[in-house]
Amino acid sequence: MAGLACAIRLNAVGIRVGIYEKSRGPGGRMASKRVDGDARTLDMGAQYFTIRNTRFRRFLESYAGFDTFAAWSGRLLHEADDGGLEAFTVQQRFVGAPRMSAITRALSRHIPVEYGVQAERLEHDEDGWRILAQGGHRIGPYDALVLTPPPAQSNCLLHGFPELQKELEGYSMLPCMAVAACFSEPLDLDFQGVQLVQHPVLRWAGLDSSKPGREEGVEWWVLHADPYWSLSQLDKPEDEVSDALVEAFRERFSLKAVVAERHIHRWRYAIPETEVGPGHLWYPKVNLGLCGDWLSGGRVEGAFDSAESLLAHLRSDDRLGFSLP
């Protein structure tokens, strides 16, 4: 979201941009997984998002389209200090429709994106920035570069820039183990999403099939693990991790149904450890910027806010010779 928002806004004022993505499609943690012979998709990462920033709503409506997202009216609960479950504060929560990745796929149509580009390192000289990718490909030059990967991955690309690497060491993200589970029968729970904050293993459980535009019938639940528990499980076998997370869900809500099918995904960089960040980073000597949700408190909307923060800085830099609306 951060990279797409930044690139689209720059492209709109006539600046040539290019996005280079290592995955097969856009989205990052807004990606969706196809199952049932590609007949169904599941949101393994971001489960929903808020729209507090009116500019974020206008951006989505203008570039993604009204039909790519919808309000999720499911009953969402969270764990109180005494361990009881309470309703979330009244606030609209949105999801991509018919899948979370519908938003980023629609956004990506506005700018050139090259997929499957695994950057290995970056070079900067008097001509600007070049990306050195796997296979010996050299991309560029570009006058400026914006990095949107998590801090650890951005750090790996910045060999030769020790000052920048040292600053990035102050930022880190915790992992999240995610499991999508289809049970042998409907669970008949009185909620569609629940956030636990005191459970040692389970942090979130959401009924993916209750979201707008999803395939009805079979119930698929997406489970997210506690970040610190996830950190302890990074090197464990997938089946062992999946078993533990599913069992935590069954035990917490006294479920007797067994799992008929499941899929696991390891998000190595999911949750920023720093809740409040500077919004963006910009190094004017080399025209290098960094933005992402990890610089703006996390969340999908945080990624957009981070891009907005960087763009506001660029707008105020007279050296760059352009203006942004």
| CATH code for the domain of 128 | 3.50.50.60
Q: Are 201 and 229 in contact (CB under 8 A)?
A: yes
Which structural domain, as residue segments, surrounds residue 47? Answer: 42-54+75-101+174-272
Is 70 exceeded by the pLDDT of residue 78? yes
Q: Is residue 30 part of a domain?
A: no
Q: What are phi and psi of 184, to 5 degrees?
A: -70, -15
The count of other CB atoms within 10 Å of the CB of residue 252 is 15
Residues 190, 234, single domain; the answer is yes
Kindly state whether residues 188 and 159 are assigned to the same domain: no
| Residues 258, 203 share a domain | yes
Same domain for 289 and 306, yes or no, is yes
Cα end-to-end span (Å), the chain: 19
Residues 251 and 197 in one domain: yes
CA–CA distance, 318 with 135 (Å, rounded to integer):
38
Number of domains observed in the structure of the chain: 2
Are 225 and 154 in the same domain? no
- Residue 321 has what pLDDT? 55
**pLDDT per residue as tens digits for the range 206-215:** 999 999 998 7
Name the β-bridge partners of 95.
70
Q: Is residue 28 part of a domain?
A: no
Q: Considering the chain, what percentage of its residues have pLDDT values greater than 70?
A: 97
The pLDDT tens digits for 182-196 are 998 999 999 999 999
What is the pLDDT confidence band of residue 32, given thresholds at 50, 70 and 90?
confident
Q: Are residues 194 and 93 in the same domain?
A: yes
Segment 279-312, tens digit of pLDDT: 999 999 999 999 999 999 999 999 999 999 999 9
Q: Which residues contact 142 (CB under 8 A, 6 or more apart)?
A: 18, 128, 129, 130
Distance, in Å, from the CA atom of 279 to the CA atom of 304, rounded to the nearest integer, reads: 10
307 in the same domain as 179: no
